[in-house]
Amino acid sequence: MAKEIFMPKLSSTMEVGTLLQWFKNEGDSVEVGDPLFEIMTDKINIEVESYEEGILLKKYFAEEDEIPINHVIGYIGEAGEHIPEAPPGESVAAVQDILSDSRQPAMHDLEEIEISETTTINETGDTGNENSQSEKIRATPAARRVAKEHNIVLSEVPGTGPKGRIHQKDVGDFLQSAPKATPLAKKVAGAERIDLHTINGSGPQGKIYRADVEKMRQPSTASETGGRRMKMEGIRKVVAERMLQSKTTAPHVTLTTEVDMSEAIHLRKQLLGTIEKQTGFRLSYTEIVLKAVAACLKRHRNLNVSLEGNEIIFHEEINLGIAVAVENGLLVPVVKEADQKGLSDLTAECKRLGTAARNSNLKPQEMSGGTFTISNLGMYAIDAFTPVINQPESAILGVGRINEKPVGRNGAIELRPMMVLSLSFDHRVIDGAPAAAFLTNLKEVLEQPFKLLV
Amino acid sequence: MNQLLNLPSGVEGKDLPALLKQMWLIRYFEEKVDEFFAKGMIHGTTHLAVGQEASAVGAIAVLEDRDKITSTHRGHGHCIAKGAEVNRMMAELFGRTTGYCKGKGGSMHIADVERGNLGANGIVGGGFSIAAGAALTSQLKKEGYVVLCFFGDGASNEGSFHEAVNLASIWKLPVVFICENNQYGMSGPAKEMMNVEDVAKRAEAYGIPGKIVDGNDVLDVMNGVGEAVERARNGEGPSIVEAKTYRWKGHSKSDAKKYRTREEEQEWRAKDPIARLRSILIEEGLLTEESADQMKNEAKKEIEDSVEFAKNSPMPTRDDLMEDIYA
Amino acid sequence: MDGLRELTYLEAVREAMSQEMRENEDVFILGEDIGVYGGAFGVTRGMIEEFGPERIRNTPISEAAISGTAVGAALTGMRPILELQFSDFITIAMDNMVNQAAKIRYMYGGKGKVPMVLRTPAGSGTGAAAQHSQSLEAWMAHVPGLKVVQPSTAYDAKGLLKAAIDDDNPVIFYEHKLCYKTKSDVPEEQYSIPLGKANIKREGRDVTIVATAIMVHKALEAAEELEKSGISVEIIDPRTLVPLDTETIIGSVKKTSRLVVVHEAVKRGGFGGEIASIIAESEAFDYLDAPIKRLGGKAVPIPYNPDLEKAAVPGVDDIVLAVKEVLNRS
């Protein structure tokens, strides 16, 4: 019997995948493990490999088609086998296979993706709360009805029933705690889908008037007059959610220091040729900063940490994320065990990851497991900034441009190539003094790179 | 010449041709239905009484209009004998609103309560206690009517037979249980299904009369049943009358009749109750060959007309589905 | 009120029949040992003296025959009341009730009617064990053409029986054995409680209990208990399963947002499932603030041992617990 090819579910939030390209044509023979097609999900682009061997009998979809998860995309089987003319819809086999875990290698891959994504690229960060995803909300019909009547998003309502089930009373309590607003303001906000919580009321005790709501509406009104509208989706949406999550849960503190980069520049010049010969890539300051950060983190273990639930995890490995700007968003590929690698390896790896990120073919495991992130805006005219922590990590280093500045040195003013480092850390987990000590150490290492040898 | 005929009291020779006509009606009705089923023109199932016309017609001939009957799954003959209109019967089989049951009952449930036909019954042995109950009403309300309960040899093996006949016997209910022993309960030969040869013999167990009549002889049936009806009407209680007869056709529409022989069928066909009555009536001068043939053609025509009537009758609408469940 | 006195449920049933038989010559009773013996539970005691053996008709032990006889008599103009000694024996009368009584009118295209009442004691609690203690009302409620009544109080029994006798359809009238001795104020004069009208036995705010027969009494007890914890329980007795007063039940659930259904009959396939489904399909669904809870007998033949017998059917404690569960207060 012909075997189904189906749209795999690659993350807990994935509902559809976009078919980017087929690697096989109808009639081609396929081996187990052969790349069949490439898809784009809300997070990544990935090549999907075949679980079956045989002849690719049918391709129901073309490039750019959006296909719901578990829906049959095509069939593999023996030549001449009968298969449906039209796409048969959801694959029963797919669901069963995932549940029964019968196809070892391929399925394990999927599971790893599942696991790694929930821990590292989880957009909300609160995996413990079942109400974080709308399709999983436990709420009674009465609670749903009342919530609907009052335009309340159930995911925001804490449930007091068994397993967090939301009851009518919970919605009532939530309503009580909701911002005070005039009926007209509520109506306008409801119509415009503006959350009253986000509005600052100008009335007594913060009561929201219609005018307050209208103010919120301004930007969209303006754009109605001609601006382009784009739906928040894919990477953009994930970035948005994660930034909001990080900023609203982690109390950020940002420390800055200026580093004299004279020695580092010197070092780079000396190594440039050697490394280019070895790797074909040119050593950049990113890799030098990376090397220095890895070395310092080794000495300042309390910055290489994550907060999970009520526990602080001190990571053994030093895995450094590098923020890479891509079209429509931001990706953070990870250099694993950066402290174990020399500048040559780091250069090769950073370049490869950067290219992969921009071409949307990072593998999930290349985006997971980071313990500290570096964001380099040195190519722009930026001196210092306040980077947002890449959760569940607890600290991020912002790297500014190298700029000649007048600096006081031995009683005289000299022009020196200076660079500002901005370290944002999560004050829940890391205190100011250790953070300052780390940043001081980092400054020392960059100003005297030979210390890297110690 | 009529004195040669042994007629029950109250029946005269001149009443007999009408009975022949009824038997022809039954015969043609059943044959027509058989044809339609064979052609797939009507759905469901049906049980035909071809060959058993005499027991239905003879038994009912001795009843008064106020008397009632309960019938069986093989009930078309009883229905016609009790005076039902063949038009409305055929319409019922066609599932039309003009049918006796507005198309909701079909072959097995034709009833004409107003005319004392309390209904055919799809449950073998289902009529015994209903007949007893109807007889109880007659007794309690002193209405004077008698209930004739048709049943088959197979039904006499149902537990309901025992319970109802016993009950009727102790209360002396005005009911006559008439067994049309057509030799087979579906495919089961009566002689294999009972350890007595005659159902009538079972009457002894209830202390009531049990009489055997020739079920293919209208006159014999009339005499036997007439006596039992009279007894019942006089308050002397129930009787069992067993009419020995034969079912010419299979049990229902899909019956290869593998359980019996061609020879046996031929033997019984030779005892055709219609041919017998016809020759008696001609012999007795109550009919001529011509008038008999004319009667036969009339019957045939009536059945043809009933088909036209049924075909031209309206189908029920979906709105009728939920009607008539509760009074 | 005039002529109001306390009567037992059993007396109320008898009074309803006696009064009707004085009024209507067509009404008679048939059943086993209902004559001088007075019926298995004494319901017809004294009636043969007043009405004579013609109308208080002692029958042979022939449930198949007497049920069919009742059908035949009803079809021909009488209004028989058939007493079955134990509702368990309905299995023997089943063919006549299910295949004849329930269907005759429909099969005959609306001609003919079967105005009969099958009265029968049901339920456990008397130590009569597996073949004399069942509650099989869901079977009958499943069959179109039958009506099913389950009174819980003397007052209801009298009024509902009058309505059942007056009804032109076959009515199965379940009398719970443990209700026979319960008392309530019953008017002397004849009165009729329409079939298909539920009764709110107790008003409340927090949770609706739909209970039938003896469970109405247990639910009332549970409600007293729950009152002490500040829980206000509304108790609805449907009184008739067919026809069912869905409007009252839906209205109550819309008010309280919570539903517990209690019957003695085995929960699996019991009528509680029907009530729960009706709510799930109704506009009351959107008012539900907790999953519906069904309480019913365990899926076991009723045992003889008194303790086991009790454990086989819902008790007051079970109801209290169920209510607390739907209120998240267990």
List pLDDT tens digits, range C24-49.
Answer: 999 999 999 999 999 999 999 999 99
SS3 B109: helix
Q: Supply the DSSP string of A215-265, one letter for each residue.
A: HHHHHHHHHHTT-------HHHHHHHHHHHHHHHHS-EEEEEEEEE-HHHH
C329: nearest CA partner in chain A: A161
Contact B82, B116 (CB under 8 A): yes
SS3 C119: strand
B182, B185, B189, B194: CA torsion to nearest 10: -100
Comparing C-alpha atoms, which of B185, B174, B171, B167 is closest to residue B149? B174
Taking only residues 133 to 162 of chain C, the set having a beta carbon closer than 8 angstroms to any beta carbon of chain B reads: 144-145, 147
Q: Phi and psi dihedrals of C213, rounded to 5? A: 50, -130
Query: CB-based contact (8 Å) between A441 and chain C?
Result: no
Q: Phi and psi dihedrals of A393, rounded to 5? A: -65, 170
Cβ of A167 within 8 Å of Cβ of C289? The answer is: yes
**Helix and strand numbers, DSSP H then E, in chain C:** 12, 14
Q: Which long-range contacts (CB under 8 A, 24 or more apart) does C226-231 make?
A: C226/C320, C226/C323, C226/C324, C229/C324, C229/C329, C231/C206, C231/C207, C231/C323, C231/C324, C231/C327, C231/C329
Question: Which residues in chain A show pLDDT less than 70?
Answer: 11-13, 43, 92-135, 178, 180, 182-183, 203-206, 217-226
pLDDT of A39 reads 84
| Average pLDDT, integer, range C106-129 | 95
Cβ of A141 within 8 Å of Cβ of C328? The answer is: no
Kind and range of the H or E run holding C24: none
For residue B144, give the DSSP letter: -
Please tell me the distance from the alpha carbon of residue B187 to that of residue B207, in angstroms, as a whole number. 31
Tens of pLDDT, residues A195-231: 777 777 776 666 777 777 777 765 544 445 567 777 7
How does the average pLDDT of chain B come out, rounded?
A: 94
| Average pLDDT, integer, range C157-162 | 98
Contact B218, B57 (CB under 8 A): yes
Chain C interface test: which of A168, A169, A170, A173 (most C C-beta within 10 Å):
A168
- With contact defined as 3+ CB pairs under 8 Å, the chains touching B are C
| Average pLDDT, integer, range C89-106 | 96
- Strands (E) across chain C are located at 4-8, 27-31, 56-58, 79-83, 117-122, 147-149, 171-176, 183-187, 199-202, 207-211, 233-237, 240-242, 259-266, 293-297
B96, B98, B100, B102: CA torsion to nearest 10: 50
Q: Which residue numbers of C are catalytic?
A: 132
Whether C contacts B, i.e. 3 or more CB pairs less than 8 A apart, is yes
Please tell me the distance from the alpha carbon of residue A181 to that of residue A172, in angstroms, as a whole number. 16
Chain A interface test: which of C286, C287, C325, C328 (most A C-beta within 10 Å):
C286
The helix-helix angle for B273-283 and B53-61 (nearest 10°) equals: 60
Tens of pLDDT, residues C271-310: 999 999 999 999 999 999 999 999 999 999 999 988 999 9
C257: nearest CA partner in chain A: A142
Contact A423, A438 (CB under 8 A): yes
Cβ of B119 within 8 Å of Cβ of C108? The answer is: yes
Tens of pLDDT, residues B188-198: 999 999 999 99
Of A142, A161, A162, the CB nearest to C288: A142
A164: nearest CA partner in chain C: C328
Please tell me the distance from the alpha carbon of residue C157 to that of residue C134, in angstroms, as a whole number. 20
The sign of the torsion formed by the CA atoms of B259, B265, B266, B267 equals positive
Q: Which residues contact B233 (CB under 8 A, 6 or more apart)?
A: B144, B146, B174
Q: How many CB atoms lie within 10 A of CB A118?
A: 14
| Average pLDDT, integer, range B55-62 | 97
Chain C positions in Cβ-Cβ contact with residue A168 (cut-off 8 Å):
257, 289
Please tell me the distance from the alpha carbon of residue A28 to that of residue A398, in angstroms, as a whole number. 50
Cβ of A142 within 8 Å of Cβ of C286? The answer is: yes
Of B126, B138, B325, the CB nearest to C144: B325
Tell me the residues of B at the C interface, defined by beta carbons under 8 Å apart: 68, 70, 99-105, 109, 111, 113-114, 118-119, 121-123, 126, 128-138, 140-141, 159-160, 163-164, 166-167, 170, 323-327
Tens of pLDDT, residues C189-240: 999 999 999 999 999 999 999 999 999 999 999 999 999 999 999 999 999 9
Please tell me the distance from the alpha carbon of residue B22 to that of residue B306, in angstroms, as a whole number. 15
| Average pLDDT, integer, range B295-322 | 95
pLDDT over 90 percentage in chain C: 96
Taking only residues 126 to 165 of chain A, the set having a beta carbon closer than 8 angstroms to any beta carbon of chain C reads: 140-145, 160-162
SS3 C320: helix
Of B130, B141, B170, the CB nearest to C72: B130
| Average pLDDT, integer, range C162-166 | 98
Given phi > 0 = left and psi -120 to 50 = alpha, else beta, which region is B173?
A: beta
Q: Which residue numbers of A are catalytic?
A: 427, 431
What tokens were used for A441? 């150490």
Please tell me the distance from the alpha carbon of residue B158 to that of residue A242, in angstroms, as a whole number. 79
Cβ of A168 within 8 Å of Cβ of C328? The answer is: no
Cβ of B130 within 8 Å of Cβ of C75? The answer is: yes
pLDDT of C237 reads 98
Q: Phi and psi dihedrals of A212, rounded to 5? A: -65, -40
What tokens were used for C109? 């295209």
pLDDT of B2 reads 47
What is the DSSP pairing of strand C259-266 with strand C293-297? parallel
Q: How many CB atoms lie within 10 A of CB A349?
A: 22
Kind and range of the H or E run holding A344: helix A343-358
Q: Which residues contact A96 (CB under 8 A, 6 or more apart)?
A: none
Contact C162, C190 (CB under 8 A): yes
For residue B176, give the DSSP letter: E
Q: How many CB atoms lie within 10 A of CB C315?
A: 15
Of C64, C100, C107, the CB nearest to B105: C107
A143: nearest CA partner in chain C: C289
Q: Which residues contact C311 (CB under 8 A, 6 or more apart)?
A: C298
Query: CB-based contact (8 Å) between C191 and chain A?
Result: no
For residue A159, give the DSSP letter: P
Given phi > 0 = left and psi -120 to 50 = alpha, else beta, which region is C160?
A: alpha
Cβ of C72 within 8 Å of Cβ of B325? The answer is: no
Kind and range of the H or E run holding B72: none
Cβ of C145 within 8 Å of Cβ of B326? The answer is: yes
SS3 C226: helix
pLDDT of A122 reads 36
Place of tokens 């209690």: C262
Taking only residues 65 to 124 of chain C, the set having a beta carbon closer than 8 angstroms to any beta carbon of chain B reads: 65-78, 80, 95-96, 99-100, 104-115
Q: Is the peptide bond before A392 cis (omega within 30 degrees of 0)?
A: yes
SS3 B70: strand
Please tell me the distance from the alpha carbon of residue A252 to that of residue A264, in angstroms, as a whole number. 29
Chain B interface test: which of C108, C142, C171, C195 (most B C-beta within 10 Å):
C108
What tokens were used for B298? 């009339």
- With contact defined as 3+ CB pairs under 8 Å, the chains touching C are A, B
Cβ of A141 within 8 Å of Cβ of C287? The answer is: yes
Please tell me the distance from the alpha carbon of residue A219 to that of residue A100, in angstroms, as a whole number. 50
Q: What is the ipTM of this complex?
A: 0.85
Q: Which residues contact B187 (CB under 8 A, 6 or more apart)?
A: B251, B255, B258, B259
Q: Phi and psi dihedrals of B92, rounded to 5? A: -65, -45
Chain C positions in Cβ-Cβ contact with residue B70 (cut-off 8 Å):
72
pLDDT of A109 reads 40
Query: CB-based contact (8 Å) between C278 and chain A?
Result: no
Question: How close does chain C come to A142, measured CA to CA in Å?
Answer: 4
Chain C positions in Cβ-Cβ contact with residue A144 (cut-off 8 Å):
286
Comparing C-alpha atoms, which of C173, C131, C139, C138 is closest to residue C156? C173
pTM (2 d.p.): 0.64
SS3 C3: coil
Contact C252, C208 (CB under 8 A): yes
SS3 B82: coil
Radius of gyration over every alpha carbon of chain A, rounded to an integer in angstroms: 26
Chain C positions in Cβ-Cβ contact with residue A161 (cut-off 8 Å):
290, 328
Chain C positions in Cβ-Cβ contact with residue A163 (cut-off 8 Å):
none
**Residue B251: pLDDT over 90:** no
Please tell me the distance from the alpha carbon of residue B18 to that of residue B24, in angstroms, as a whole number. 10
Contact A15, A44 (CB under 8 A): no
Strand order in the sheet with A334-335: A252-260, A412-426, A395-409, A372-376, A320-322, A334-335
